[in-house]
Amino acid sequence: MATIEVVERLRPPSAVMRALIGIFTLWQRDLLRYWRDRTRIAGGLAQPLLFLIIFGAGLSPWMGTLGGATVGPDYLQFLYPGIIGMSVLFSSIFSAVSVVWDREFGFLKELLVAPIPRWAIVIGKALGGSTTSMLQGLLLLLLAPLIGVRLQLGTILLLIPLLFLLAFSLSSIGLVIAARMRSTEGFGLVMNFLVTPLLFLSGALYPLNNLPTWLTVLTRIDPVTYGIDAIRRVVLSSAGVPQPVIDQLGVTLFGHPLHPLLDAAIVLILGIFLIVLAARQFARPD
Amino acid sequence: MPATIEVRGLVKRYGAITAVDGIDFTVDRGEFFGFLGPNGAGKTTTINVLCTLARPTAGSVRVAGHDVVREPHLVRQRIGIIFQDPSLDTQLTAWENLALHARVYGIPSSSWRPRAEELLRMVELWERRNSLVRTFSGGMKRRLEIVRGLLHAPEILFLDEPTLGLDPQTRRQIWVYLAELRRQTGVTLFLTTHYLEEAEQCDRVAIIDHGRIIALDAPERLKARVGRDIILLSTEDNTRAVQELKERFGLVPMVVDGTVRIEAERGDELIPQLVRQLTVPIRSVSLRRPSLDDVFLALTGRQIRDEEASDLDLMRERMRVRH
């Protein structure tokens, strides 16, 4: 009777194995979709470029060298790592919109009835979103020579995990919101209310020292602050800016300058907290 | 044949709304089982519980030998589902969609690839396997979903209104494929539908209304319960015709959709008498054996067909969501 090739009935893989397979498959799917969607790649580059070229080049001549010393970076060089962070911020948060899309277009159902745990879907999505956002941020490193920032290989190798961490944390914020969202419009609205303050408070556009107290407090609550601080410290140090100037332009917490590793740790802890939250929201059955 | 689906006292409530109100049934292995009922009767909710997408409020449900609450992943491994709405990744190719499915179901490449090829050939999509699903028509997407649903060799294939929104020709074609697949794989089919002609093909049909099963049997036996022939009369004056039929023939006529409907033991013998003796001019007469719609009408006083207009609303609603 059965003329169609019969699938081997293997012993079903263990729960951990099923989760790993699910995570990997979804990660790969996001990468494939990213690679295929060239307009998204180009569009994701356009906005940071405009910021750098128009906003940065326009302000730069008025600012001179930052940090009061003749050896300090100009505004464009200060802005550059911030814009890399901004690009990661935009693309990670919006990568989570694909969950809402998948829900609207039905593909999410295919995943929900597959024999993989629901939390694995969330983690796969977060990793997929972080990887593509990291790539988007790394693409901006190509501009370094134009900005007058020399990057060594070591710097780039250091930036990869930093960008990934920031992207992971931000993708998780997106997923927490997307977990219960039913329409793309609703998601877009919430995101706009979230992304703009996250960006403006993050120190991407101006140094976060000598600010009024209320603003200092808000900027230290913004998780993007720490991600961008780590990126900026690494990039400026690679550009040959002396450490005292970097500390002056970098973020301080309770009066102490932060080390990039501490920045990274703060972002990581927050990312883990958020992804657990997203997974829990997602796993709630109907 | 052993049962592959066993449902006992299933209740599903969403807040104050009771979508499924205590149903019991079993489906045998290899059976073609249908759930027939109007929209909102509880068909999709039942399928969602059976497919582990929704937790039952009460009752026990075993599917493919496993409890849906205690061992959902074992159930998932053994069932395939064609959802009411499309559920493909349209940004990927047909083949990539299948590869993704095979991966999350843990099927080795050596095993799923030849099977995918055979299934794709059968539904005539093999040539298009490397096209993006975005470029597929509604019928092609449905066929691909059927292939995907069968890729991991499930014991049961759930079909939730599989032909909703497709044109009649595509609907027929889908059923030709499904019949062939069933013949070749022996898979159990669990269908929900509100199309009568689809329910007619089932081995057994459960008629569901307001979350309860009001009849469950083979379509022929269900129709035999209504039993009598159905005569449809179109006249110049239906009100007078009804009155005459009651008074002079002792019949119980009903007016449905502008025609007079009469049930009779020997319809073929009654028609000549009616034509001769009714004073109201008759425009047309037709005689037919009872359909499942008549069964539904006899059980609930309503027609399933009444609700079919909502198909169009549903489509419109979907278009709105999509664009």
Q: How far apart are CA A2 and CA A106, in angstroms?
A: 31
Q: Is the pLDDT of residue B193 over 90?
A: no
Q: Which of A1, A7, A184 has the highest number of chain B CBs within 10 A, making it the mutation to test binding with B?
A: A7
Give me the residues of A, 80-119, that contact B with CB < 8 A: 102, 104-117
Indicate the pLDDT class of residue B305, thresholds 50, 70 and 90. Answer: low
Phi, psi of A176 (to 5 degrees): -60, -45
What secondary structure letter does DSSP report for B187?
-
Among the partner residues A37, A105, A113, nearest to B76 by beta-carbon distance: A113
Average pLDDT, chain B: 87
Q: Which of B69, B91, B97, B118 has the highest number of chain A CBs within 10 A, making it the mutation to test binding with A?
A: B91
CB-CB neighbors (< 8 A) of B153 in chain A: 6-7, 9
Give me the residues of B, 247-276, that contact A with CB < 8 A: none
Instruction: Determine contact, residues B180/A3, Cβ cutoff 8 Å.
Output: no
CA A234 vs. chain centroid, Å, equals 17
Instruction: Determine contact, residues A187/A97, Cβ cutoff 8 Å.
Output: yes
Question: ipTM > 0.90?
Answer: no
pLDDT at A1: 42
Instruction: Determine contact, residues B157/B80, Cβ cutoff 8 Å.
Output: yes
Q: What is the mean pLDDT of residues B142-149?
A: 93
Token representation of residue B270: 């009654």
The reply to whether residue A18 touches residue B184, judged by beta carbons under 8 angstroms, is no
Indicate the pLDDT class of residue B113, thresholds 50, 70 and 90. Answer: very high
The reply to whether residue B87 touches residue A106, judged by beta carbons under 8 angstroms, is yes
Q: Is the pLDDT of residue B120 over 90?
A: yes
The reply to whether residue B88 touches residue A36, judged by beta carbons under 8 angstroms, is no
CB-CB neighbors (< 8 A) of A6 in chain B: 115, 153
pLDDT in tens, chain A (286 residues): 445 655 555 556 788 888 999 999 999 999 999 998 888 888 888 888 888 888 888 888 887 777 666 677 888 889 999 999 999 999 998 888 888 888 888 899 999 999 999 899 999 999 999 999 999 999 999 888 888 888 888 899 999 999 999 999 999 999 998 887 878 788 878 878 889 999 999 999 999 988 899 999 999 999 999 999 999 999 998 888 888 888 888 888 888 888 999 999 999 999 999 999 999 988 776 6
pLDDT at B323: 40
pLDDT at B212: 93
Q: Select from A67, A56, A81 the least CA-distant residue to A238.
A: A81
Poorest-confidence range of A164-173, A229-238, B5-14, B224-233?
B224-233
pLDDT tens digit string along B151-181? 998 999 999 988 887 888 888 888 888 888 8
CB-CB neighbors (< 8 A) of A114 in chain B: 76, 101, 104-105
Name residue A206's amino acid: Y
Grouping H, G, I as helix, E, B as strand and the rest as coil, residue A22 is helix
Q: How far is B299 from chain A (nearest CA, A)?
A: 32
| Nearest residue of chain A to residue B76 (CA atoms) | A115
Q: How far apart are CA B212 and CA B206, in angstroms?
A: 10
pLDDT at B295: 86
Residue ranges covered by each domain of chain B: 3-222, 228-289
Instruction: Determine contact, residues B179/B9, Cβ cutoff 8 Å.
Output: no
CB atoms within 10 A of CB A189: 12
pLDDT at B288: 83
Query: Looking at per-residue confidence, does B114 or B263 come out higher?
Result: B114
| Residue B53 forms contact with A (CB below 8 Å) | yes
Q: How far apart are CA B256 and CA B237, in angstroms?
A: 14
Domain B228-289 sits in CATH at 3.30.70.920
| Residue B115 forms contact with A (CB below 8 Å) | yes
Rounded to 5 degrees, what angle do the CA atoms A255, A160, A22 make?
A: 115
CA dihedral (B97, B102, B103, B104) positive or negative: positive
Architecture of domain B3-222: 3-Layer(aba) Sandwich (3.40)
| Nearest residue of chain B to residue A15 (CA atoms) | B73
Token representation of residue B222: 């269900």
Residue ranges covered by each domain of chain A: 15-283
pLDDT tens digit string along B260-282? 888 887 888 888 888 888 888 88
Grouping H, G, I as helix, E, B as strand and the rest as coil, residue B312 is helix
The reply to whether residue B104 touches residue A21, judged by beta carbons under 8 angstroms, is yes
Q: How far is B89 from chain A (nearest CA, A)?
A: 6
Q: Is residue A241 within a helix (H) or strand (E), and if so which, with residue range?
A: none
Rounded (10°) CA dihedral B65, A281, B100, B193: 60
Q: How far apart are CA B76 and CA B63, in angstroms?
A: 9
Helices within B51-195 (DSSP H only) = 72-78, 94-104, 109-122, 138-151, 168-185
